Amino acid sequence: MGDINHQSVDQRRKFGKQYLDGLTKCLAALELDQIAEVIGYLDEAIRNGSRIFIIGNGGSAATASHMACDLGKNTFHASFTDPANRFQVMALTDNTPWITALANDLGYDYIFSEQLKNLVAEGDLVIAISGSGNSQNILEGIATAKKLQAKVVGLLGFDGGKAKDMVDAYILVESDNYGYIEDIHMVLDHMLTSFFQLKA
């Protein structure tokens, strides 16, 4: 019985090491030029007073909400009362009644595109977060944003999917492991937020 327990602990330790090794490899493979380009779009948005809308499904929806919180709350440049130099940012994952009404009446493919038709304007920025880059509601959202002359950047995984060729810029996590992709998208959220904290 003791030997079985010992082996089980070793197996768990081995799995933990394998996961962390894979995650480290994906982090090391990130393209710094891609990161710099996406930072540039965020910098342009805050300088121009453009609004930012973030979209994603499942774990990426949680990342979208987290990113909106981080960019909105953690990038104050002057004082708590100063309205200047703040990100005007919202996640389109957060209004559950609106999302479910759109999904029920029009179909899940349109939960982001229809919100964008109400909200987005020329020069605004949409951040599309997607592991596969192929979710139809993400593609509809990107297409609608581009039609309305907004800029679009993507946080993507796998090979970038169809979204890769639709967005203006992207950061790609080249992995087929959703855990690694979603982990690193959260790292990127904190990295991007930290950049603007450092500029404060």
In angstroms, the CA 4 to CA 127 distance is 48
Q: Which residues of 56-81 are buried (b: 16+ CB within 10 A; e: fewer)?
A: bbebbbbbbbbbbebbbeebbeeeee
Report the chain's mean pLDDT, rounded to a whole number.
93
Cβ atoms of 172 and 157 within 8 Å: the answer is: yes
Q: Which residue has the higher pLDDT, 86 or 158?
A: 158
41-59: average pLDDT: 96
pLDDT tens for 73-115 read 988 765 555 666 789 999 999 999 999 999 999 999 999 999 9
143 Cβ partners below 8 Å, 6+ apart? 113, 166
In angstroms, the CA 43 to CA 28 distance is 24
In angstroms, the CA 51 to CA 92 distance is 12
In single-letter form, the type of residue at position 183 comes to D
Which H or E run includes 138? helix 136-147
Q: What are phi and psi of 127, to 5 degrees?
A: -105, 115
**How many of the other CB atoms lie within 10 Å of CB of 196?**
20
Which H or E run includes 10? helix 2-28
pLDDT tens for 136-152 read 999 999 999 999 999 99
Nearest to 93 by CA among 106, 108, 105: 108
**Model pTM greater than 0.85?**
yes
Instruction: Please measure the distance between the N-terminal and C-terminal CA atoms of the chain and give it in whole angstroms.
Output: 58
In angstroms, the CA 100 to CA 29 distance is 38
108-134: average pLDDT: 98
